[in-house]
A and B are shown apart, each in its own frame.
Chain A
Amino acid sequence: MKQSFKLAAAMTAFVSAGPALAADCGTSDGISIVELNWPSGAFLAQMHKIILSEGYGCDVSLVPGDTASSTASMSARGEPNINPELWVDNVRDFWDKVTESGTVYEAGKPFAQGGREGFYIPTYVAEANPELKSFEDLAEYAELFGDPSDPSKGVIYNCQPGWSCEVLVGNMYRAFGLEEEFNLFSPGSSAALEATIERSYRREQPIVTYYWEPTPLLGKFPMVSLEMPDYVEGNCNNDENCENPAKSGFPPGNVITAVTSDVKEEAPEAAAYLDAASIDNSIINEVLAWGEENNATAEETAIHFLQENLDVWKAWVPDETAEKIQSGL
């Protein structure tokens, strides 16, 4: 009798201790962040997770994904709550729809100078060919960027299937009349594209490829962006079925932190932090390059950033929160 009483008391204490341990920052079922599958996206996701969980006590979970899967999920189910690196111009339809219905809003800009997309050539190629300055000039250099499996033409490397840049680059390739001189090759995955670029770089061979910033690859293998005309508003380059692709540059790299509105309503302090979080491109490049050199995981890269750049992130959070985060590192 006494035994079972003690047992019941112990269990009650255990059970009642439960909710106290799971104290969160206001949201009803925790905050989910999509851990994007490229270096800068993964780093931002991990950084938000550390700050929100250590500083604000939120119950944060990371969901692996990419732009396509996370935007589909956000618009259909309102989850994940945060996309730390959304290139808005690439998902115009989704963005217009969710901002109109008010389910998702733009919290802040993770990159202070925005993102950049372009066609890149290695610096050693740019130095050896000073006349090759713009994307239009490329037509005369088909021989330099020869396709190993089709020596009669050059080759331009596209981004991975499923990314909106794939359609964009395909349309630009047509619009700038490069179909006769060049093949457009899809490497199949970002890993294969990076391996291809690394291979060309190690053997000092010419290569022209789509790429974007900020990325650790551009930190490791310096490349020069080919000049492109200004962005033409209202073009259909993003559309697979575009009949008349425009000779336009890439859309301005409007990269935002996309957050579902329930976070703003239920956890206003966390939302205020997300509005403020913004890092200089040069610092991001440095941090990503560090991660690449040291074979660090995204989490280790985020911890490194928080340890080395106190003045940057302390500006985003109130002082006591900063203390909590620092002690948790």
Chain B
Amino acid sequence: MFPDVLDERSVRMYVDNAADWMVIHWGASLEAAFQPLLHLLIAIEGFLLWMPWYVIIFLIAGLAFLATRNWKLPVGVSILMFMIGAAGYWEESNQTIALMLASTITALVVGVPVGVAMALSRPVRSIMRPLLDVMQTLPPFVYLIPGVMLLGPGKVPALLATVIYAVPPVIRLTDVGIRNVDSDVVEAVSAYGASGWQKLWHAQLPLALPTIMAGINQTMMMALSMVVIASMIGAGGLGYQVLQGIGRLEVSRGLFAGLAIVALAIIFDRIAQSYGRRLQSQLHMDEG
């Protein structure tokens, strides 16, 4: 076996004591710092639960229409949402949609600027790449339980954990998108006297938009896939129904709630992808 090089037990106790110290001394201030996020989530959830169900279905179908300018997707989306409601998961689905939207918005606000910074600056890229690897592969429960100890159970650590898990795609794809913008275009824009900021805002970002949209799409999907884990720290929603199904060995409950999650994923994935494709055709990027 491997030789005993260090005393892991005392290292672990040291880390445990440090974690306890953080809870005692930083707990209150961290909780206060995350209040805006909590308010965002509660606002979205409150809005979705207050609106009558037909208005919500109409709004989502409307989004689908704007993305495709076709009747097929809106009808499909409306049918799926109606079935979710008929299965008795309306309230839970809206809680899940609220969590997904709040995390996606947060991920966008944080991720796109970071992705841009990564594309334009080599030192930022070398710091961010290992950090992104950690965020995507470290098992969520590792930071979930310390999150609960620092921020309390419920929506805040769930939102934080979902953002940590879901933000890497949008960061990576923003980085790739900007770096892959046709260098001729970038040269031409500079030749016309554009400043760095103008170049970014008027040339690079619009041309990188389809790739960034793909990143947003992936972020939304990963946010949805975290719902079950998020419910393990009290976030509620469809994930909680799946968890109850598992715990009580009620196959039907877990299955139907799981199918509702899949339905939500299909709805938002189609809407986002269709919008991405429309963007590409508008920018004539699909013409090879």
A202 to B42, CA, bound (A): 27
Give the size of the chain A interface in residues (CB under 8 angstroms): 26
* Residues in B whose Cβ lies below 8 Å from that of A188: 153, 231-235, 240, 243
Q: Are B13 and A295 in contact (CB under 8 A)?
A: yes
A87 to B76, CA, bound (A): 48
Shortest distance between the CB of B73 and any CB in chain A (Å): 34
B246 contacts partner chain A, Cβ-Cβ < 8 Å: yes
A191 to B146, CA, bound (A): 10
* Residues in A whose Cβ lies below 8 Å from that of B155: 149
Main secondary structure of the interface of B (DSSP, over half): helix
Q: Are A162 and B145 in contact (CB under 8 A)?
A: no
A72 contacts partner chain B, Cβ-Cβ < 8 Å: yes
A66 to B240, CA, bound (A): 18
B28 contacts partner chain A, Cβ-Cβ < 8 Å: yes
Q: A187-B234, A192-B232, A203-B28 are contacts. A149–B154 as well, Cβ < 8 Å?
A: yes
Q: Are B38 and A195 in contact (CB under 8 A)?
A: no
A321 contacts partner chain B, Cβ-Cβ < 8 Å: no
Specify which of A163, A187, A202 is in contact with B24 (CB 8 Å cutoff): A202
Q: Are A162 and B248 in contact (CB under 8 A)?
A: yes
A152 contacts partner chain B, Cβ-Cβ < 8 Å: no
Which residues of B115-131 have CB atoms within 8 Å of chain A's CB atoms? none
Shortest distance between the CB of A242 and any CB in chain B (Å): 15
Which residues of B268-287 have CB atoms within 8 Å of chain A's CB atoms? none
Q: Are A68 and B247 in contact (CB under 8 A)?
A: yes
B27 contacts partner chain A, Cβ-Cβ < 8 Å: yes
B9 contacts partner chain A, Cβ-Cβ < 8 Å: yes
Which residues of B195-248 have CB atoms within 8 Å of chain A's CB atoms? 231-236, 240, 243-244, 246-248
B18 contacts partner chain A, Cβ-Cβ < 8 Å: no
* Residues in A whose Cβ lies below 8 Å from that of B232: 188-189, 191-192
Q: Are A162 and B149 in contact (CB under 8 A)?
A: no
Q: Are B247 and A195 in contact (CB under 8 A)?
A: no
B181 contacts partner chain A, Cβ-Cβ < 8 Å: no
Select from chain B the residue with minimum beta-carbon distance to A148.
B152
A69 contacts partner chain B, Cβ-Cβ < 8 Å: yes
Which residues of A280-302 have CB atoms within 8 Å of chain B's CB atoms? 295
Q: Are B240 and A161 in contact (CB under 8 A)?
A: yes
Specify which of B42, B152, B234, B235 is in contact with A199 (CB 8 Å cutoff): B152
Interface size class of chain B, counting residues whose CB lies under 8 Å from the partner chain? 35 or more
A160 contacts partner chain B, Cβ-Cβ < 8 Å: yes
A196 contacts partner chain B, Cβ-Cβ < 8 Å: yes
Q: Are A191 and B240 in contact (CB under 8 A)?
A: no
Shortest distance between the CB of B215 and any CB in chain A (Å): 29
Q: A188-B234, A295-B13 are contacts. A199–B247 as well, Cβ < 8 Å?
A: no
B91 contacts partner chain A, Cβ-Cβ < 8 Å: no
Q: Are A196 and B153 in contact (CB under 8 A)?
A: yes
Shortest distance between the CB of B225 and any CB in chain A (Å): 16
Select from chain B the residue with minimum beta-carbon distance to A150.
B42
Interface centre among B23, B141, B150 (most CB of A within 10 A): B23
A141 contacts partner chain B, Cβ-Cβ < 8 Å: no
Q: Are B148 and A161 in contact (CB under 8 A)?
A: no
Q: Are B248 and A161 in contact (CB under 8 A)?
A: yes
Q: A199-B149, A199-B152 are contacts. A189–B27 as well, Cβ < 8 Å?
A: no
* Residues in B whose Cβ lies below 8 Å from that of A192: 144-145, 148, 153, 232-234
* Residues in B whose Cβ lies below 8 Å from that of A191: 141, 145, 148, 232
Shortest distance between the CB of A32 and any CB in chain B (Å): 19
Select from chain B the residue with minimum beta-carbon distance to A203.
B27
Q: A195-B149, A196-B148, A202-B24 are contacts. A186–B240 as well, Cβ < 8 Å?
A: yes
Q: Are B234 and A68 in contact (CB under 8 A)?
A: no
Which residues of A178-197 have CB atoms within 8 Å of chain B's CB atoms? 185-189, 191-193, 195-196
Shortest distance between the CB of B194 and any CB in chain A (Å): 47
Select from chain B the residue with minimum beta-carbon distance to A73.
B249
Select from chain A the residue with minimum beta-carbon distance to B146.
A195
Shortest distance between the CB of A155 and any CB in chain B (Å): 9
* Residues in A whose Cβ lies below 8 Å from that of B234: 185-188, 192
Shortest distance between the CB of A196 and any CB in chain B (Å): 5
Shortest distance between the CB of A147 and any CB in chain B (Å): 9
Q: Are A199 and B248 in contact (CB under 8 A)?
A: no
Select from chain B the residue with minimum beta-carbon distance to A158.
B234
B72 contacts partner chain A, Cβ-Cβ < 8 Å: no
Q: Are B233 and A199 in contact (CB under 8 A)?
A: no
Q: Are B247 and A161 in contact (CB under 8 A)?
A: yes
30 A-B pairs within 8 Å (CB atoms) are namely: A68-B247, A68-B248, A69-B249, A72-B249, A148-B154, A149-B42, A161-B243, A161-B247, A161-B248, A162-B246, A162-B247, A162-B249, A163-B247, A166-B247, A185-B153, A185-B154, A186-B236, A189-B232, A191-B148, A191-B232, A196-B152, A198-B149, A199-B23, A199-B27, A202-B23, A202-B27, A203-B27, A295-B9, A295-B13, A295-B16
Residues of B within 8 A of A (CB): 9, 12-13, 16, 20, 23-24, 27-28, 31, 38, 42, 141, 144-146, 148-150, 152-155, 231-236, 240, 243-244, 246-249
The 7 closest A-B pairs by CB, nearest first: A162-B247, A195-B148, A188-B232, A189-B232, A161-B244, A192-B233, A161-B247
